[in-house]
Amino acid sequence: GHETTSVAICWTLFLLGLHPDVQETAYQEQESIFQGSDRSVTMKDLNEMKYLERVIKETLRLYPSVPIIGRLLKNDVNIGLFLLLAGYDIPSGCTVLMHIYGIHRNPVQFPNPEKFDPDNFLPERVAKRHPYAYIPFSAGPRNCIGQKFAMLEMKTVLSCMLRHYRLRSLDNRDTVNLLGELVLKAEQGINVTITPRQTGNVLLLTELFKYILMNQQKFSPIFRTWNGSEPRVHLLQPEDVEVILKSSEHLDKSHIYKLMQDWLGTGLLTSTGQKWHTHRKMITPTFHFTILDSFVEVFLEKSEILISKLRKEVGSQGFNICPYITKCTLDIICETAMGTPIHAQDDRGSVFAKAVRDMSEIIIHRQVRPWLHPDFIFKMSAIGKRHDECLRVLHGFTNQTIQERKNAVSNLPNQTDTSLTEEDSYIGMKKRKAFLDLLLEALHDGVKLTEKQLRDEVDTFMFEGHDTTSAALCWTLFLLGLHPDVQETAYQEQESIFQGSDRSVTMKDLNEMKYLERVIKETLRLYPSVPIIGRILKKDVNIAGYDIPSGCTVLMHIYRVHRNPVQFPNPEKFNPDNFLPEREAKRHPYAYIPFSAGPRNCIGQKFAMLEMKTVLSCILRHYRLRSLDNRDTVNLLGELVLKAEGGIDVTITPRVCFQELNERRNSFTKRLFLYELHFCWLGLPRNEREPQHITMEAVTILLGGALFIIALLFLLTANKKETEFATRVNKLHGPTRYPIFGTDLPLIFLKRTELFKHALMIQQKFSPIFRTWKGSEPRVHLLQPEDVEVILRSSEQLDKSKIYNLMQDWIGTGLLTSTGQKWHSHRKMITPTFHFTILDSFVEVFSEKGEILISKLRKEVGSQGFNICPYITKCTLDIICETAMGTPVHAQDDRGSDYVRAVRDMSEIIIHRQARPWLHPDFIFKMSAIGKRHDECLRVLHGFTNQMIQERKNAVSSLPNQTDTSQTDKDIYKGEKAFLDLLLEALHDGVKLTEKELRDEVDTFMFEGHDTTSAALCWTLFLLGLHPDVQETAYQEQENIFQGSDRSVTMKDLNEMKYLERVIKETLRLYPSVPKIGRTLKKDVNIAGYDIPSGCTVLMHIYGIHRNPVQFPNPEKFNPDNFLPERVAKRHPYAYIPFSAGRRNCMGQKFAMLEMKTVLSCMLRHYRLRSLDNRDTVNLLAEIVLKPDRGINLTITPRQTRNGGM
């Protein structure tokens, strides 16, 4: 594989050097493939090199690497002339030598055989030739096994040679002596001359920047050069740069920017004079901080995609991170500029994304090649043609988007500011405006931008905001990877902000990233994205004692200005503390100008800084970086944007290590995360203090892997024909089904915060009825009230879906999970316990716990904001414990009750297990760390409930026997009966519940009535905080009822709270506590014309049902009047089902409504609420209960009562 390939390449170069016409054709093929780019070759490229392959084959015909091959005969063989009977008998034992060199010159097979003609290998010619007429790799059973390898190697090397150099051979074929050795070589080698193909190739670009730096050092601080007849004056001192940049007259950019005008027109970057002034004034408001705030969501969304894409590089020996960053910034700039996602990171082959990348390369390519500056030459070149193709794509896309957005804006109320209240016109788009939308509204003296001006500004934003930010991010990652101490400090800043949470970044978070901002600024000092900027002088100017005439181009070398040792002592040292406020204050104002400065500074620098912070925050929180190169070995490319020649090579390691997590193992959520990471990375904990955990987790992983293999083998050996059952289900459309995983395979790669968005996307795509597969289990999804009614009103389809089985260890077979006769009998027995007289007795508990909540919240008065969810959760836990079992647990007092902790932990465990299919089998789950915690919780929960049952039974046994639910007896703890007391008295056909059944029902009440009510209250407070008008109306209703009194609430008061009830109902419409419910079909059923077979799981998406525009016009609007009686009467009875519906509806819905009214009444009478997030920025978690991923953050202000107190 060495010598043979080497000589083949040498002979090919020899022949190319002799035949400039063939060489040029081969070069043009390369140009058509690479379009002037200096990117690396790919397999796709190699497959397209048809002509080069013919060149190589023709070379191997004339100069086969092995000119003679031999065989030792094992048997006698007859070899004779074709079609003649007589032949030669060659005896066994003879050596037969086959002269490939001579065979390849057979004039019958190759007319004019000494001529070098690559067309000899056109497919039509090859087809007519004897199959053994061309055998450079031998042939038959013992042919060369590596011929494809050799061909790919030769193509790659020759492609690189052709793209960089022109060749001229110094010898001709007659004068070259051949050596008759094993491999065919030229006696004196192959002598050639080479000429650089283009003076601006990569090699020269790296030398060009070194040359510029050499001149700067030699002639600093001010010197002149000539570009042909054009004079250039170079400035390197802040004081000299200030003279130009602060001037309001020297605003025209240098001539080089004219090369961009075909694409960018005369946008802000390239325009001059009055047009520049006018457009700058119009565009400035579009970068207001409120606008930038709305873009943070895009930054985050694309950054999270980047994080997921980088996962495949974990464990690699190193990779170039620049392509990943470039695609991410391209995604960001396209969506923020035009409001249209292009999915560059998903490699969907967007023509627009490719055109942006190509056009950026073309401009840089042309910039350093002066002979391509004249348009008439450039347009005739191959790269000029590609330039025109890109223009058609870019301008076509921008024009189309402008027209679409104009049409959308024309349907909205007219406004001339940059407020962000209108909804985007595109279905499924987020409620934010793109840069283009803001430009459509911008006015100057009552005049809007023309369509051409709009396109120029959008394209300018695209060009300026893509490559520059990408380069800055790459350099920052490079320096962080070289300086682990700086990286660790930046990471600790992230930890202090996020507290280990994986929540999304907010504008508030970005503003707190002071150290990261200093890191970015120091990176831009050392590696400014644009290393040189230029201006054309409009009038004579005196700089450093020199009179510079009007018309001169002045170049300001930012790269060198930033290395001024007076301004930055030890200027080559990477030191983020250079940007501490006290150091900045002492520095010349023009000593640091990465975004230029003065009237023509970069208008988008705040946008860029927020984008970079977001991307870097995501990377730092997920990965540790190590740079594989150092600063001395990285070559800088002297292009428009400062880049590293070979990219930035790094390795990444997942940020969270098991040692760190074990050190925090007292936090239960960290224990859950630890367990999850074992499966994600197949690692083991290293905590020597808990060796049994190492063993148990290892066993868990191994068993999970074994189960996977067994399942795979079963599927591979099973009958491949679909069963009738599956065939019937698959008549419904739905996502792609994969082996083993079903349709759930994509979920494995999603973060917890992405699951609900993914579910909504699937619903939107396949609504109103579709199917999915969870492994081999089919699920049918319903989103229409009419379809849901078929299931919920049925007296036969009552069995819950299998996911509820995971709860049975705690809640047994209580009302939530039981089926059949048991469910019927228990439902009948328990129904009287929710009689209104019973509920009336619970109002006192609701009020008491609500008042404790009010007192606990006082410490948050005056704070900048806090998460109210923990407060609400503890309040509802207090309520449910005391009403269920008659025993206070004082959750709000943080007394550390084991029972309170166990309830919280068990709820988290169930949610955690639900989302991890490998934890569903009990025998695996029980051996895991989280399974052990599950069992500890069970002992506490069941122990406490059993103890309460025994105590209450003893108390009840001392009271007169009665079989109804009247409230005449005094509870041994309080003046009302708990749910448990009522169950102890309940009878069905004269039979009471067993102790196990009692425990199951009490635990079910605890589970169902705790988290769901807490979530509903949090969402209600969130919406009230967003809608002060609704909040005020609800408060006025309280005032009308309580007349300024601070007395406790009564049942009569609660019944009068009609508006507050509508607020709660509307909240549960938008944010139903349980976003979907499931049933397992007991018999076949027809829904929407589809026959759904028995055994299927039917999932009803309450979240989607509640957004049906037929039932709720403008469904995303929060409007409590949706529940005015006259509107409710006109609605389908199954259009609103937050408590389910039909025979198996939630028995405790009246209890929940009274509890929520009581708590909200207390809140409204004591505090004004303001939500700090909006609905677009809150991520929903796809769990059993619908929650926000980072809680509900709000501020509270005390209301003044009539007596002047709070």
Element (H, E) at 858: none
Quickly state the pLDDT bin for 701 (edges 50, 70, 90). Answer: low
Asked if residue 957 has pLDDT above 70, the reply is: no
Task: Phi first, then psi: give them for residue 69, nearest 5 degrees.
Answer: -125, 155
pLDDT at residue 373, as a whole number = 85
Asked if residue 685 has pLDDT above 50, the reply is: no
Averaged confidence pLDDT in the chain: 82
Q: What is the pLDDT of residues 38-58, one digit of tens each?
A: 788 999 999 999 999 999 999
59: its two tokens:
């070379």
Query: Is residue 765 in a domain?
Result: no
Asked if residue 893 has pLDDT above 60, the reply is: yes
Q: Please give the single-letter amino acid code of residue 449.
A: L
pTM: 0.47
Tell me which of 599, 631, 654 is where a domain ends: 654
The separation between the first and the last C-alpha atoms of the chain, rounded to the nearest angstrom, is 88
Q: What is the pLDDT of residues 1027-1072, one digit of tens each?
A: 999 999 999 999 999 998 889 999 999 999 999 999 999 999 999 9
User: Is the domain of 567 the same as that of 589?
Assistant: yes
Tell me the mean pLDDT in the region 863-869: 90
3-state secondary structure 508-556: HHHHHCHHHHHHHHHHHHHCCCCCEEEEECCCCEEECCEEECCCCEEEE
User: Is the domain of 857 the same as that of 974?
Assistant: yes
> The domain that contains 1097 carries what CATH number?
1.10.630.10
Query: Is residue 203 in a domain?
Result: no
Eight-state DSSP code of residue 447: B
Instruction: Give CA separation, 1008 vs 848, 1012, 1104, in Å.
Output: 21, 6, 22
pLDDT at residue 344, as a whole number = 81
Query: Is residue 756 in a domain?
Result: no
User: Is the domain of 216 the same as that of 131?
Assistant: no
Query: Which of 538-542, 900-904, 1089-1093 has the lowest average pLDDT?
Result: 900-904
Tell me the mean pLDDT in the region 155-162: 95
Residue 285 to residue 788: CA distance in whole angstroms: 49
Residue appearing with tokens 């919920």? 792
777: its two tokens:
């289990």
1149: its two tokens:
């819905």
Q: What is the pLDDT of residues 705-742, one digit of tens each?
A: 666 565 555 554 444 445 677 888 888 888 888 877 78
Quickly state the pLDDT bin for 673 (edges 50, 70, 90). Answer: very low
Asked if residue 843 has pLDDT above 50, the reply is: yes
Looking at the DSSP assignment, which residues form a beta bridge with residue 339?
Answer: none
Tell me the mean pLDDT in the region 643-658: 78
Query: Is residue 764 in a domain?
Result: no
User: Is the domain of 628 the same as that of 546?
Assistant: yes
Query: Is residue 771 in a domain?
Result: no
Task: Phi first, then psi: give them for residue 309, nearest 5 degrees.
Answer: -70, -30
Q: What is the pLDDT of residues 576-611, one digit of tens each?
A: 999 999 999 999 999 999 999 988 888 888 889 999
User: Is the domain of 497 the same as that of 558?
Assistant: yes
Residue 33 to residue 654: CA distance in whole angstroms: 38
User: Is the domain of 611 the same as that of 693?
Assistant: no
User: Is the domain of 269 the same as that of 187?
Assistant: no
Query: Is residue 772 in a domain?
Result: no
Asked if residue 222 has pLDDT above 50, the reply is: yes
416: its two tokens:
């001339």
Instruction: Give CA separation, 976 vs 5, 233, 969, 1189, in Å.
Output: 94, 92, 8, 38
Query: Which of 22-26, 199-203, 234-238 has the lowest average pLDDT?
Result: 199-203
User: Is the domain of 331 the same as that of 465?
Assistant: yes
User: Is the domain of 187 the same as that of 213?
Assistant: no
- Whether the Cβ atoms of residue 770 and residue 1098 lie closer than 8 Å to each other: no
Higher local confidence (pLDDT), 731 or 180: 731
**Domain interval for residue 82:** 3-197
407: its two tokens:
């049409």
Query: Is residue 273 in a domain?
Result: yes
Tell me which of 654, 683, 706 is where a domain ends: 654
Residue 844 to residue 847: CA distance in whole angstroms: 5
Looking at the DSSP assignment, which residues form a beta bridge with residue 1127?
Answer: none
pLDDT at residue 708, as a whole number = 59
Asked if residue 690 has pLDDT above 90, the reply is: no
Strands of 777-782's sheet, edge to edge?
769-774, 777-782, 1097-1101, 1076-1080
CA angle 1048, 1049, 1051 (to 5 degrees): 140
Query: Is residue 177 in a domain?
Result: yes
Quickly state the pLDDT bin for 973 (edges 50, 70, 90). Answer: very low
Instruction: Give CA separation, 220 vs 91, 471, 543, 560, in Å.
Output: 85, 27, 13, 10
User: Is the domain of 314 the same as that of 288?
Assistant: yes
Residue 875 is assigned to a ligand binding site:
no
Asked if residue 212 has pLDDT above 90, the reply is: no
- Interstrand relation of 1097-1101 and 1076-1080 (parallel, antiparallel or unpaired): antiparallel
Asked if residue 1195 has pLDDT above 90, the reply is: yes
- Whether the Cβ atoms of residue 801 and residue 1078 lie closer than 8 Å to each other: yes
Residue 907 to residue 874: CA distance in whole angstroms: 13
Asked if residue 164 has pLDDT above 60, the reply is: yes
Asked if residue 857 has pLDDT above 80, the reply is: yes
Q: What is the pLDDT of residues 738-777, one digit of tens each?
A: 877 788 877 777 777 778 888 888 888 888 999 998 878 8
* Domains: count for the chain: 4
**Residues in CB range of 571: below 8 A, 6 or more apart:** 562, 563, 564, 565
**Residues in CB range of 869: below 8 A, 6 or more apart:** 1014, 1018, 1187, 1188, 1191, 1192
User: Is the domain of 577 the same as that of 695?
Assistant: no
Peptide bond into 691 cis (omega under 30): no
Query: Which of 402-411, 624-633, 1111-1120, 1183-1192 has the lowest average pLDDT?
Result: 402-411
Tell me which of 633, 654, 675 is where a domain ends: 654
Asked if residue 812 has pLDDT above 70, the reply is: yes
User: Is the domain of 366 the same as that of 440?
Assistant: yes
Share above pLDDT 70 across residues of the chain, in percent, rounded to a whole number: 84
Nearest to 889 by CA among 878, 880, 904: 878
pLDDT at residue 350, as a whole number = 59
Asked if residue 170 has pLDDT above 70, the reply is: yes
Asked if residue 288 has pLDDT above 60, the reply is: yes
